[in-house]
Amino acid sequence: MKKIIYTRSDGGISVVTPVINTLGESPGFTEQDALERALAKIPLAAINIQVIDPFVVPSDRTFRNAWKQVGATIEQDMPKARTIAQDRIREARTPRFAHWDALWSKAQEDNDAAAMAMIKANRQKLRDAPADARIVNAADETALKAAMQAVIGDLP
């Protein structure tokens, strides 16, 4: 079935899937009927309403909130996608910070200078991770996703 896309006033994109209900529809209710019914209920504030084929909608939702509408297509807003990738890295590093913080307390108690230096370096790596060059330099969604996964995998 066709879908409907439009841009909201906040700049985000909404993807509308018309529905033929499994119960309660009139006999002979068609996909075209469902599409027209859904179009009639699109918000008045919707911008650039387009009817599209389902394959136009990206199947990978990793950076869903960075989608932007260009005509009747959906593209990635790369600055927004980088922000999402950086947020994911921050989420992933949170338990790592807790891990090193616990070891830091132990190293302080033991007055273990070598351990403290190692922990300090690792915590700095965690702080620097969102700004990793692989994230900053990723040219497209695919490269960004791979970079994000690599940075998370490298978190100490």
- The contact set with other proteins (CB under 8 A) reads 3-4, 8, 12, 14-19, 21-24, 34, 37-38, 41, 57, 61, 64-65, 91
Nearer to other proteins, 57 or 118 (CB): 57
In the complex, minimum distance from the CB of residue 101 to other proteins, in angstroms, rounded to a whole number: 18
In the complex, minimum distance from the CB of residue 98 to other proteins, in angstroms, rounded to a whole number: 13
Q: 111-124 in b/e burial notation, b at 16+ Cβ within 10 A?
A: eeeeebeebeebbe
- What is the distance of C-alpha 49 from the center of its chain? 23
Structure tokens at 31: 């996909």
Structure tokens at 75: 């593209």
Q: 128, 122, 64, 67: which is closest to 97 by C-alpha?
A: 122
Nearer to other proteins, 65 or 83 (CB): 65
Q: 62, 58, 69, 60: which is closest to 8 by C-alpha?
A: 69
In the complex, minimum distance from the CB of residue 15 to other proteins, in angstroms, rounded to a whole number: 4
In the complex, minimum distance from the CB of residue 56 to other proteins, in angstroms, rounded to a whole number: 12
Nearer to other proteins, 62 or 122 (CB): 62
Secondary structure (3-state) at 111 = coil
Nearer to other proteins, 17 or 137 (CB): 17
